[in-house]
Amino acid sequence: MSRSPDLLALLKQYFGYATFRPLQEEIIRDALVGRDVLALLPTGGGKSLCFQLPALARDGLTVVVSPLIALMKDQVDALQASGVPATFLNSSLAADESRARLRGLHNGEFRLLYAAPERLMLSGMLADLQCWGVNLIAIDEAHCISEWGHDFRPEYRQLAQLRELFPQVPFMALTATATERVREDIVKQLKLREPARYVASFNRPNLTYRVSAKTGAYGQVLDFLRAHPRDSGIIYCQARKTTESLAEKLRADGIKAAPYHAEIAKDERSGNQEAFLRDEVRVICATIAFGMGINKPNVRFVIHYDLPKNIEGYYQETGRAGRDGLPSECVLLFSPGDVQKYLGFISEKPPSEQVIAREQLSQMVHYAECSGCRRVELLAYFGEESAGENCGACDNCLTPRATFDGTVAAQKFMSCVFRIRQAGSFGVGLNHIVEVLTGAQSERVLKWGHEKLTTYNIGREHTRSEWAAIGRELIRLGYLRQTTDKFPVVELTNEGRAILTARTKVTLTKPVAAPDKVVSHVGEITCDELLFEKLRRLRKELADARAVPSYIIFSDVSLRQMARLYPQTEAEFSRISGVGASKLRDFGAQFLEEIAAHLRANPKQIFADTSFTQKPSTPPRGKLTETVVATLHYWRSGRTIEDIARLRDVKPTTIYGHLADAADAGEAIDLDQVMTADQQTRAAKAFYQFGWGNLTGVKESLPDLDYGPLRLFRAVKQRRPS
């Protein structure tokens, strides 16, 4: 697709970027020609720009439906700092301020208006909208309109009336996560007309996913925070009391922390949120009430103190880390006790909700206990195929869990299931089987005479939690199945009967262990850390003076590039990612002076290519996946990238990914077949400037090159020696 110089010029002028993120340009173009759009972009994927840039590309008013007051203020503050005329209307405004903004809207002074659905649907507001030249209606967090969504809000249903009032105005519905069912419901409820549909990859390569055995939760959290003394993050807890007690303990240990949950007084809750956004509080201990509308790009970690209820919620919550693209950690503390606690909660739900809740919990437990790549598991949940089997950025890929010969354990467990079923006409749950194996004298064991079984007390070599983990793995392997009834029972499958009869060897994975040391990965920008800290302090001073969060001034990405490249002139400073015309005018002189003062007292640091974090670990040589091998075969037969993509019914970017995996594994790939000599020279210079780990920075500096060729170039140049 050819690119409009005007759009790119607007992108650089107002937002400081030289190129679009994936799908942004396509979405923007559809909106500008008047087409309805449904866009599913993951957290941090640049949803807001999809309606902000069209608002600048033509006259008229873009109306943005936003569910949270904090989100409106945050986005409007950021837009105004970038020189964009934007405003919001909500209940937080005094009457005189609200009237002043309404006058500005009548006078055509604004390009964007943010408002909640309740405010928009007031009769007086609807009448005003029809006088303001509305050219686009964007519904943010569009999943709120669906009863099947994870955050349904009945007031969103009223928005369908806007279609009747504005039949010729294009609608744009945006969300970070939605199942196919929710997407169809969004289209139906908003009455979208043959919308262009965009679903971006759910992969967040800068996030490292870890699951650790919960062996002493508070101590584990404290150790993590002390190992990351400058980082801010979120700790999600299931219970409101836990958020308060955890925050109190952390404060007693010298860590600035605050709680957040729905029952904290509104003023205190808002104050804690604002303190977190402004980096006055480093850690927020929160329930799931804290999340939507939190646009803090430098959240460096998300810790789940308790087991999330479902994969979708977990993905949403971990997605609040690393929105700026820099490396960030996602840690889940897992305990089998949490599983039993949730099963108790589920039993109190209406019968119609229990089956779904148990299925969702089972998926979450499977993720926590799986031995394979966690990224593959997450992407598979959302129906997305991963390009490789080793992401290099989860605990299982970085430090594969040990396996053991579980034949005896599997035989004992499955025999116990068989004997219990043989002794009566009913099945039992996982916990009961564990009780029989470990010789428990519980009421149910004795009532049903299961202490007389030959499998009673034969499992003394493992603890109850270990047996429970073994049972769940046998379920995952397909040797056992667990029903979805109100009282789920465990049964032998045909595969399990065959294993039991033939005494086939069974290999099992050891349970999750305590956390390993943190390793860096994709997205890291090595820089002059002393200068970076000086620039952070300057940013905080400027932000406090304007009563806005620090990231409104510049992101951590921008500061790290400044502390690596040492810009000396306005022209050099303007080439930093995130520096638009307005920010160059407002802040350029202060930051340039800070950099110059630093260089008067300190020498420049030289950053070789290797000072950047390399690409994540890759599949070992000789262990390419079948799909990569197939692509490699076509490639060596002389076919082009486009030819292979058509043959395999995938996108060209996927084929580039396959070839990059092959190069990582040591296969020879000729770059001359996909890039000109000039393109290779410019790519080499860009990677030297921005670092091998900062693909986004490289891409922004080379707008004529797509991510696919750049990924392949990096893989070839970093290929491990034979």
The tens digit of pLDDT for each residue in 429-451 reads 888 999 999 998 888 888 899 99
Q: Of 144 and 537, which is predicted with more confidence?
A: 537
d(CA 288, CA 592): 41
Highest mean pLDDT among 293-297, 439-443, 452-456: 452-456
- Which one, of 466, 479, 544, 536, lies nearest residue 506 by Cα? 479
List the structure tokens of 27. 């979405």
The predicted-structure confidence for 159-200, as pLDDT tens digits, reads as follows 988 998 999 999 999 987 777 788 888 999 999 999 999 988
End-to-end CA distance of the chain: 39
At residue 296, does pLDDT exceed 80? yes
Instruction: Please say if the pLDDT value at position 620 is more than 50.
Output: no
Task: Compute the distance between CA of residue 186 and CA of residue 172 in angstroms, rounded to an integer.
Answer: 11
Looking at residue 234, what is its pLDDT?
96
Strand, coil or helix: 368 = helix
pLDDT for position 618: 38
Range 305-325 average pLDDT: 89
Mean pLDDT of the residues in the chain = 85
Higher-pLDDT residue of 581 and 616 is 581
Cβ–Cβ under 8 Å, residues 28 and 47: no
Cα-to-chain-centroid distance, residue 7: 27
Top pLDDT among 610 and 42 is at 42
Least confident of 112-126, 221-235, 698-712: 698-712
Average pLDDT for 210-226: 89
pLDDT tens string 468-509 = 889 888 987 889 988 766 677 888 999 989 988 888 888 888
Q: Assess whether pLDDT exceeds 60 at residue 619.
A: no
Report d(CA 313, CA 319) in Å as an integer. 10
Q: Which of 64-68, 145-149, 225-229, 582-586 bottoms out in mean pLDDT, i.e. has the lowest?
A: 145-149
Cα gap 323→557, rounded to integer Å: 10
210-224, 358-372, 598-612: range with lowest mean pLDDT: 598-612
Task: Give the helix, strand, coil percentages of the chain, each rounded to 5.
Answer: 50, 10, 40
The full DSSP string for 55-108 is HHHSSSEEEEE-S-HHHHHHHHHHHHHTT--EEEE-TTS-HHHHHHHHHHHHTT
Give 283's pLDDT tier (boundaries 50, 70, 90).
very high
Using DSSP, state whether 48 is helix, strand or coil: coil
Average pLDDT of span 91-116: 92
And the tokens for 696? 């986004």
pLDDT digits (tens, 9 = 90+) for 621-673: 345 666 777 788 778 777 888 888 877 777 888 888 888 888 877 788 888 88
Element (H, E) at 38: strand 37-40
Q: What angle do CA 449, 450, 454 make, to 5 degrees?
A: 125
**Phi, psi angles (nearest 5°) of residue 519:** -120, 150
Q: What is the pLDDT of residues 513-540, one digit of tens each?
A: 544 444 445 567 888 889 999 999 999 9
> Would you tell me the crossing angle of helices 374-381 and 351-369 to the nearest 10 degrees?
150
**361 neighbors 240 (Cβ within 8 angstroms):** no
Taking the whole predicted model, whether its pTM rises above 0.75 is answered as no
Residue 422 pLDDT more than 70? yes
Token code pair at residue 662: 């092959």
In SS3 terms, 610-676 reads as HHCCCCCCCCCCCCCCHHHHHHHHHHHCCCCHHHHHHHHCCCHHHHHHHHHHHHHCCCCCCHHHCCC
Q: Would the pLDDT of 293 be above 70?
A: no
What is the C-alpha separation between 124 and 118, in angstroms, rounded? 12
The span from the CA of 261 to the CA of 270, in Å, is 11
Interatomic CA distance for residues 9 and 17, integer angstroms: 9
Task: Taking the CA atoms of 75, 81, 84 and 90 in sequence, report the sign of the dihedral they define.
Answer: positive
Structure tokens at 204: 């967040």
Rounded Cα distance between 409 and 396, Å, is 23
- CA triple 598-600-605, angle to 5 deg: 60
